[in-house]
A and B are shown apart, each in its own frame.
Chain A
Amino acid sequence: MIEGAPWRRWIFFYVPVTGFVVALLFPFYWMIITTVRPDRELYRPWNAPNYAPFWTMHPTLDHVRDLLTTTLFSTWMLNTMIISLAATAISLFCGLLAGYALSRLKFPFAGMIGTGIFITYLVPQTLLFIPLSDIIRNFKLGDSPWALILTYPTFLIPFCTWLLMGYFKSIPKELEECARIDGATRWKAMLYIIFPVAIPGILSAGIFAFTLSWNEFIYALVFLSSPEQKTVPVGVTSELVRGDVFYWGELMAGALLGSIPVAFVYSFFVEYYVSGITGSVKG
């Protein structure tokens, strides 16, 4: 905490924090207010009388109703959910085993393999989608959920591996040694001791992986084409911007509903998630 006179606390703490919070939350506020604002207010020019962009006197759920009845939004939600869960599960499984191996087992080139995995994470998706689309076409996976379920792990596995590797390193190796003396094989020690202790790390890796897949845009845009296969980010932006007409109300309603699962997951696991990132195991 900042010490000294009250004005110091105001200048160095409350004012910056307030600014930060407002800057962070304003887009969400804008999303909500645009969702419930009727069309006649949305498309009113800025110099019209009674122009009030920051609030509305006539909130309406028309846009949400339109979104759910006239578009495939619920299908997109379901697609996104299935794809995100599957990609997260695959990545967590691989990341757990790889992270454990890289942090605990001594084998030749362990360090190099670790760095190698990290480097693949650094290759930007905007480049990687070109060779990947070739592969997707060759395996005839285009326009199916598998195209994403199998390509998302290309960036999720390195991510999970590194996060979990760091977490496993923070667990005292004596825990495992003790388990092995107590009669557990390495596999059992991993299953009964290391993984349960690493739950905060595993959960945060899972949350991150889920969020990354949920929000992923470019692969989904490139690999999927028919409207009923699309995910929320692609569906909303491609189906609700028709020609040069932006259906702002529906767009924002889609964004709002689409961010609910992520917000839910975060708030539910926030405690685990914080201790997972700070990586503290208390004995």
Chain B
Amino acid sequence: MARVAMRSLNKKYDEVHAVIDVNLDIHDQEFVVLVGPSGCGKTTTLRMVAGLESITSGHISIDEKIVNELPPMDRDIAMVFQNYALYPHMSVYDNMAFGLKMRKFDKPEIAKRVQEAAEILGIEQLLKRKPRQLSGGQRQRVALGRAIVRHPQVFLFDEPLSNLDAKLRVQMRVELKKLHERLGTTAIYVTHDQVEAMTLGDRVVVMKDGLVQQVGDPMELYNEPANRFVAGFIGSPAMNFAAVRVAAENGSLWAESEGIRIKVPESMQKRVEPYAGKEATLGIRPEDLHIAGAGDPTDLTFDAAVEVVERLGSEILLDVAVGPTTMVASVEPTATAKVHEKLRLAINPERLHFFDNETEAAI
């Protein structure tokens, strides 16, 4: 178990600057998730930690020791790959034992550790099989088993669940979480799926175009996104954005656009004030919208026309047109809204977000 630190980490390919100045401290026993769209540099970062990719500049240390020049085998890490990378010519047992054999463990110790890992993962009865005789979920377990038998300092996961079907993915996600609770090994996990990131990560690192956008625990990212990208990336369905003009009237601030006129709540006045008379972007999460009732003040509501109704059971998603913009509202499952119906939506004023139009940073 160990700390992992990245300092001014950069990776340049011929023309692409894939990872730009990444600074990250991963604590002992922490589960950190790197998340972002494809090509954001998350996998490259992970591969640099693994030693599979050379570092252009900066350094990585594992347990206070700089590992830039260490070959992968000497870093005491284990990695689980997206395609599992099981050795097709070896049995499950040999797959799991390979790393220990390479490190010259004696046979009884190897047998003990493999047995132990197999029990944890519930694959004891598969040890004699070849990888091609296994289902996707079983292969995934073997790949995990191969990583845990070595008792490494750090686990690296490169989108390990993305080849599984949706149901199995949810199940394995829970198991991964349990496994981490049990073993407590420091883990770095790469995914493009924000749900996976939110559910698994003690902390989540959002990346885009090689740059770290925000680091924080899942709820922090959800509640206080640092910029528009993070706001739109975290949360499903995604946050609604509307281009608004900030107007000062009667001592309070208003966010206005075609179809919307909302009073900026007191708590945000100070932050939004510099934007008076300027354009900004308003962000509202679908779950912070509800169908307006009698108790909702008119300066926190706006008219909307329902375009699509998606009934999910636990909630209903309404795709609505508000002036020229389209928004999604997540409403109570008892709502009776119909397509083409006009209704009034109210917002939760404490959960509004404003973003600068140029820097896209949160205001």
Contact = CB atoms under 8 A, between A and B. Distances in A.
Interface residues on B, range: 20 to 34
Given A179-B98, A282-B132, A283-B139, A184 B89 contact: no
Nearest to B86: A283
Interface string A163-193: 0000000001011011111111100100011
Nearest to B150: A182
Given A188-B102, A282-B132, A181 B79 contact: yes
B189 interface: no
Contacts of B254: none
Given A196-B89, A281-B88, A184 B83 contact: no
Contacts of A185: 71, 73
A199 B89 CA distance: 10
A197 interface: yes
A255 B193 CA distance: 65
Contacts of B286: none
A181 B70 CA distance: 11
B83 A172 contact: yes
Contacts of A199: 89
A281 B85 CA distance: 11
Contacts of A197: 87-89
Given A174-B81, A283-B83, A283-B131, A181 B50 contact: yes
Interface in A247-283: 281-283
Contacts, number: 71
Question: Interface SS of chain A: helix, strand, loop or mixed?
Answer: helix
B73 A181 contact: yes
B132 A182 contact: no
Interface string B125-160: 000000110000001000000100010000000000
Contacts of A282: 88, 132
B76 to A, nearest CB: 10
Nearest to B103: A183
A175 B86 CA distance: 7
Q: Enumerate the 7 nearest inter-chain pairs by beta-carbon distance, A residue then B residue, closest first.
A: A182-B99, A183-B102, A174-B85, A178-B85, A174-B81, A183-B73, A181-B72
Interface of B: 50-52, 71-73, 75, 77-79, 81-89, 98-99, 102-103, 131-132, 139, 146, 150
11 contacts: A174-B81, A177-B72, A178-B81, A178-B146, A182-B73, A183-B73, A183-B99, A184-B98, A184-B102, A283-B86, A283-B139
